Amino acid sequence: MILGSDPILLTPGPLTTSPATRQAMLRDWGSWDAAFNALTGTICRDLLAVVNGSGTHECVPLQGSGTFAVEAALANVVPRGGKVLVPQNGAYCQRILKILGYLGRAHVSLDLPEDRHPTGAMIDEALRADPSITHVAQVHCETGTGILNPLPEIAEACARHGKGLVVDAMSSFGAVPIDVARHPVDALVAASGKCIEGVPGMGFVIVRRAVLEGCRGNSHSLAMDLHDQWTYLQRTTQWRFTPPTHVVAAFRAALDQFLAEGGQPARGARYAANRDTLIDGMSALGFRLFLPRAVQAPVIITFHAPGDPHYAFKPFYEKVRARGYVLYPGKLTKVETFRVGCIGAIDANEMRNVVSAVAETLKDMGVSRMEPLEAAA
């Protein structure tokens, strides 16, 4: 779908955007201008609708990367005397634990292997064992591996025990079905440069209104005070501090394209076709998946590195990039892997081209033994 001299980004964000999205950044906007403020309002309205949160939740935009918004959600939704359970099966779950440490919020980790997801039964057991836990913080799609954690059953477990739920939906929002009315969520976090296919620079937190109204005074930071940001937006329609105007304009354009495509069902179907085409092609070359296909989200795929002595990631990356595609290094510590994203303004035909570029690179490097070193050992 995207052609030209720039390489295609096969990463979990930033990602390859459409010409229309990039075009939207060519206009300058005044941050207090009524037309710009209207953009913010329509974006918040449409984001709520994506997860069926209209009427029950509020959308609070925030400057910065997705991690800024994750920290803001945790700092505002979890009271200073709260305690958070983190089902942990990857790098971004570990980041939540690190954030909680910085915030001084009590927390406990439910550690799992990186190829296994938590279940509702596990959450039930953990909450029964420690009644002092007030909230659960869950990464929906763990992009360290690409595993999709079962949000509906985790949300149901939290509801049974009357616990709050904060969801990092950074890599799932817009691609995977999420219904905050059916499966109760206190706060859900995502960002502009992910599956809506905008550019990076803006996060947003979708918060249950009753929860948001009770957040005043929780935040450790003025800049990340979601309650203050929300009340100011409600009163003035403006951001408190200078917004990323070009990012917001590009995000509005990306949202328009998302809706025209058919919203989450259509976006998810395109990404699923990308995933399946990529997996089938790479498997035919001899690559092994890190995850079982049953738990593989349509966002990013982790492959075991070949055990051939001629293989090394850096030259592999550079040679694939020279053929037009930017891959992503592995995020695991125990096994050598690399990752290939399926999201962005790309389609299944592009994924077939990716497989061809990888095949040519392997031949160029003299790589023939595809079995991972771990398997050979």
Task: Give the pLDDT confidence of 248-306 residue by residue, as tens digits.
Answer: 999 999 999 999 999 999 999 999 999 999 999 999 999 999 999 999 999 999 999 99
| pLDDT per position as a tens digit, 307-350 | 999 999 999 999 999 999 999 988 776 789 999 999 999 999 99
The pLDDT of residue 371: 93
Residues 186 and 306 in one domain: no
Q: Note whether 326 and 346 are same-domain residues.
A: yes
Interaxial angle between packed helices 66-77 and 226-236, expressed in degrees from 0 to 180 and rounded to the nearest 10: 100
207 and 227 assigned to the same domain = yes
Going by their DSSP bridges, the two strands 141-142 and 325-326 should be labelled as unpaired
pLDDT in tens, 64-114: 999 999 999 999 999 999 999 999 999 999 999 999 999 999 999 999 999
Query: At 299, which CATH number?
Result: 3.90.1150.10
Specify whether 101 is located in the same domain as 160. Answer: yes
Last residue of a domain, one of 245, 260, 275: 260
How many whole angstroms from its chain centre is CA 351? 20
Domain total of the chain: 2
pLDDT tens-place string over residues 212-240? 999 999 999 999 999 999 999 999 999 99
Same domain flag for 209 and 318 = no
Model pLDDT, residue 151: 97
pLDDT attached to residue 333: 67
pLDDT-based confidence at residue 1 (cuts at 50, 70, 90): very low
Same structural domain, 248 and 290: no
Q: Which of 179, 110, 103, 102 is nearest to 138 (CA)?
A: 110
Question: Which of 238, 260, 282 marks a domain boundary?
Answer: 260
**What is the 8-class DSSP label of residue 367?**
-
For residue 263, the model assigns a pLDDT of: 98
Q: Residue 85 has which token pair?
A: 């359970």
For residue range 157-213, list pLDDT tens digits in order: 999 999 999 999 999 999 999 999 999 999 999 999 999 999 999 999 999 999 999
Based on the domain organization, do 42 and 184 belong to the same domain? Answer: yes
Among 222, 245, 260, the domain-final residue is 260
- Alpha-carbon distance of 180 to 202, in angstroms, equals 21
Q: Could you tell me the residue range of the domain that residue 119 belongs to?
A: 19-260
Q: Flag whether pLDDT at 5 surpasses 90.
A: no
